[in-house]
Amino acid sequence: MKIAVAGTGYVGLVTGVCLAAHGHEVTCVDVDEAKIELMRSGVSPIYEEGLSELMTENMERLTFTTDYKSAYEDAAVIFVGVGTPEKRDGSANLKYVYAVAEQIADSVKNECVVVIKSTVPIGTNDRIEAFLKERLGGRLPIHVASNPEFLAQGTAVRDTMHASRIVIGTEDKFSEDRLREVYAGFDAPLLATNRRSAEMIKYASNDFLALKISYINEIANLCEIIGADIEDVTKGMSYDTRIGSKFLNAGIGYGGSCFPKDTKALSWLATFNDREIKTIKAAIEVNESQKLRPIRKAKQYYPDFRDLKVAVLGLTFKPGTDDLREAPSLVTIPVILEDGARIYAWDPVGEENFRRRIPDGIEYCETPEETLKDADICFIFTEWPGVKAIKAQTFVDLMKRPIIIDGRNCFPKGYFDGLNVLYDSIGRAVVDTLGEKNV
């Protein structure tokens, strides 16, 4: 089937490449000519495991262009995967979605299905359909369907090729049949609903996972006070199949392009309709506070960071991606810099993006070991395999004073036994053989 995909970010590009891998003829559209040229050469503009390889394998079925007219005019299905960034009030900004809808209305020459894959507020598909029909003036039939994505950055290719479920929201049989044909080769359960249910499934799913993360972080903070161990607690919880073990890893909060934006958008939507989802509101508040927990911990050992060498291991919001959106490092590092610290940082893929966000005041290192050399304190913000592989003795041997603030609980209990170290993690007892505070 001939398919066009608007947008080549995490959603659009992964969708396009995976559809090509299933035999469809896919044209990916973007406004950035440099980005298009990069993809034409077989190089992915984003870091995502397996994506570059899958692109290379399916280049004969992939076209990359800035010419939206040629892409849309005879496509059977047009997927819209552009960004819906957060506005200041927390609502979703739909200007890119409407910009694509306008281009589609000006370009299509045949009956087609426009599929909104971007995460959009409930009712957006209805409004996009009305917009398209008005612009087309009855010139030809056009259909709009909702097909939310459930991919996670770092595992996006796997999450698309081996999806937990495929949700399609339609209001007519033509759209449903065509989308069933698109996904015929995918081995995943397919749920067909109306459009508004599909839109809500996306928000309800993401916000529930955000709730789990904020909840377990609150429990972890309490564990530190009462002397319980969060990892024992979550293991005990996980045996209950109603709870499970996923999204119960205590840390310094969620980030990325989905959870922060989607929780705020759903909270805004409820408020707009004279309702309040108190649980979502609490999750947002807890997550923002949790990002600063490493600073609060560190202040127990140093009243300020002036003239200290601070090692930072990990910059991205999670391993497996170069994405920094809503990363705790973007909240914490400016505080440390403002306090007068000298920061040395390591991240295997996030350095270039971080330089764009915070261009000054940071020395970037080639290895974790180089980062730790002569450091007065170490912050761990991302649980990269390269961080987890650091030997306990390495911290002691390289750091001027081995004080480690681990925001991701990278090391198991007993890892630092017998060493002269201070190891402070989330929801677990502090390992302190240095025996000093406010050094």
Query: Which residue type sits at 82?
Result: V
Assess contact for 341 and 359: CB atoms under 8 A.
no
CA-wise closest residue to 285 among 267, 303, 311, 308: 267
365 has catalytic annotation? no
Assess contact for 314 and 381: CB atoms under 8 A.
yes
Interatomic CA distance for residues 3 and 97, integer angstroms: 17
* 288 φ, ψ (degrees, to nearest 5): -65, -40
Q: Where are the alpha helices (DSSP H) in 137-229?
A: 156-161, 173-182, 195-226
Cβ atoms within 10 Å of 418's Cβ, excluding its own: 9
Query: Which residue type sits at 284?
Result: I
Return the structure tokens found at 129: 């359909």
Task: Identify the helix (H) or strand (E) that includes residue 394.
Answer: helix 392-398
Task: Check 258, 365, 378, 410 and give the catalytic one.
Answer: 258
Strands 62-65 and 25-29, sheet pairing? parallel
Return the structure tokens found at 84: 């819906």
In what order do the strands lie in the sheet containing 25-29? 62-65, 25-29, 2-6, 77-80, 112-116, 142-146, 166-169, 190-193
Return the structure tokens found at 291: 């990002």
CA-wise closest residue to 12 among 28, 35, 34, 36: 28
Enzyme catalytic residues: 258
